[in-house]
Structure 1
């Protein structure tokens, strides 16, 4: 995961987690620029500490990218701007689906300056900012993968973080690389490849079924993100 600067500005609204006070990021593994591994371990930790269901069925890994590998996100710790905007080549967050209608779905983003976790609606409004006018090459696409499937099939040997001479672009985590249950050592590229042309046309029961059963989940546009989570029972 790499970033670049974006010449843009926008105001940021404040919000609170009245029923969900921030839990803090300190208990969770976080290695800068290795967001996919951070989310993999985050899902495992949320299951172990009882914040999520023990089988992880209420958790989803969400990859954000596009054809150009240029996606602006606001309120990011890596930014040097007051509005926290960064252009990532891709980013990965965790969304927790909650059945109680009185409770918001939650976004767990270890790279965000927003409360941890934040309600999905707040995260969309303040980090994705769909109302902010962007050039088409900056439109975001979302690959949503059910956490139990993600933790079974995902693998990374971190090759994407090395330059042409084999040097690290950013220091790697100290723990061992993630290997899939079937022995696959690297498939991050499969999760990162996404195009707006491949997003679902509408959210239906078949979309939810695909999400809950397929290795690479489903692709949706930013206007469909909240709708999809509202359709998951």
Structure 2
């Protein structure tokens, strides 16, 4: 990445709330900010929240700032990003506050450099993607951060300073419903009915790597 790109990315990143290891809350606030500042549709209709995980809670992703390796690869138990669907010939964008790639990154670049579908992985490392329409996520998501405490009630990572996120209906915690992802949940194919489910289902749909790109292809727009 050029120095100019780095400076632009750093300037943009600084506008968003960020707490290490709380990617789901970071993305929740990021979606709200994108809607408020006019970068996204006011209702978030062009935004999609994507949970990346699997049964083993071991998903390799590259170009992650938390990595100690030169290639930025790290094994997350789960990770959360935002994909913004753009109109016309503009590439769809990935907003990942944990990534060392340009912020935001064109979806094809993010897929090739961070997900690396051509990289041969053992079955236990295969990634699945829960895609949730942002308006659904912003209404229904809740976390009291219980997943970040050890058996003795101590914080594994320091929590954000702001209050925990509550769902509109008063639910205090349902993060586990989003990050529990199984291969058996992966849809068989991308169809019109499936696309409708993405928009209407609280927990969205679960896709594999190839289907993620297909969902956001021009033919599915």
The 8 Å contact of residues 47 and 84 in structure 2, kept in 1 or not, is answered as yes
Report what 1:213 is aligned to. 200
1:53 corresponds, among 41, 49, 73, to 41
Report what 1:181 is aligned to. 168
Q: SS of the residue aligned with 1:24?
A: helix
Q: SS of the residue aligned with 2:137?
A: helix
Higher helix share: 2
Give me the whole-angstrom Cα distance separating, in 2, the residues matched to 1:61 and 1:130: 20
CA RMSD after TM alignment = 1.6
Report what 2:64 is aligned to. 76
Give me the whole-angstrom Cα distance separating, in 1, the residues matched to 2:158 and 2:85: 32
Report what 1:105 is aligned to. 92
1:42 corresponds, among 16, 30, 47, to 30
Report what 2:125 is aligned to. 138
Report what 1:3 is aligned to. none
* TM-score of the two chains, using structure 1 as the length reference: 0.90
* TM-score of the two chains, using structure 2 as the length reference: 0.95
Pairing 1:1-233 to 2, within 5 Å after superposition: 22=9, 24-100=12-88, 102-230=89-217, 231-233=219-221
Residue 232 (structure 1) shift: 4.4
The 8 Å contact of residues 27 and 81 in structure 2, kept in 1 or not, is answered as yes
Q: Deviations over 1:5-59 (max 9, x none)?
A: xxxxxxxxx79xx9xx746210000100000000000000000110000010000
Give me the whole-angstrom Cα distance separating, in 2, the residues matched to 1:56 and 1:192: 21
Give me the whole-angstrom Cα distance separating, in 1, the residues matched to 2:147 and 2:155: 9
Unaligned runs of 5+ in 2: none
**Number of residue pairs aligned between Structure 1 and Structure 2:** 216
